[in-house]
Amino acid sequence: MSHALFQKRVTVLDKGWIELLDMMPHPEAGVSGDLAIVNAARVSFLGESKGDERDKKLLFYLMRNHHTSPFEMVEFKFRVHAPLVTWWQWVRHRTWNMNAQSGRYTPFEEDDFYVPSVWRKQAKDNKQASEGELSPEDNAQLTEKLLQHYETAYKLYEEALQMGVAREIARLFLPGFSVYYTWVVKVDAHNLMHFLRLRMAREAQYEIRVYAQAIFDHFFKPALPWTAEAFETYALAAKED
């Protein structure tokens, strides 16, 4: 898989990343993802086209009128390294297929914990959201305390492993929401757009919003430029209105 989309790993948060493992149709298969969507709507053979202008017009018609099944003909498979605070929200999207790294089989690495760049304040009018930031002094103080907490927790984890404790229970010493996990995830373009519409929104938690934005900017738009344009026009713009 020598295509450029498969050659880059996009950095997210402090230690996270996303990479594209596979896509259907593959960019080097001779049929673009946009054309696969159009041809599925026409129930024709892959590779048949009525020209860019008519093809793009049909794709925009599909998006505008919520004809979603043709968009399910394109799939993306990613490998993602993200903290559990991100995965806790990601798994709510049950249309994704997921396989996760297991702490029962693989020991966790030292310092593989999420450290936020800023500490956000609790929003006054939204119980599940943040608003504003702590002062630089308070931010630095909390970050130092968090790093000390991580160091102590990991030492206890290592100590338990050295005593012969099974990995599956030694991990109880690790900070739950901040530890990074690597997952392989797969989704079709229709359900990916639903995920992106919700998780790129301003009200989405930052720790998942940056992953959604990275997928959209670095993988979805380059792979499906017509679909991304229609999505921005009819889904994202409508949500903002």
Provide the sign of the torsion angle of the four alpha carbons 145, 150, 156, 159, taken in this order: negative
Q: Which residues pair with 81 in a beta bridge?
A: 17, 182
**Per the structure block, which two tokens stand in for 33?**
């993802």
Whether 199 is catalytic is: yes
Distance, C-alpha 31 to centroid of its chain: 25
d(CA 81, CA 92): 17
Distance, C-alpha 54 to centroid of its chain: 32
195 to 190, 202, 236: CA distances (angstroms): 9, 14, 12
Cβ(159)–Cβ(61) below 8 Å: no
Catalytic residue among 92, 104, 199, 209: 199
The set of long-range contacts for 51-59, using a CB threshold of 8 Å and a minimum separation of 24, is: 55/226, 56/226, 59/34, 59/226, 59/227, 59/230
Catalytic residue numbers, as ranges: 199
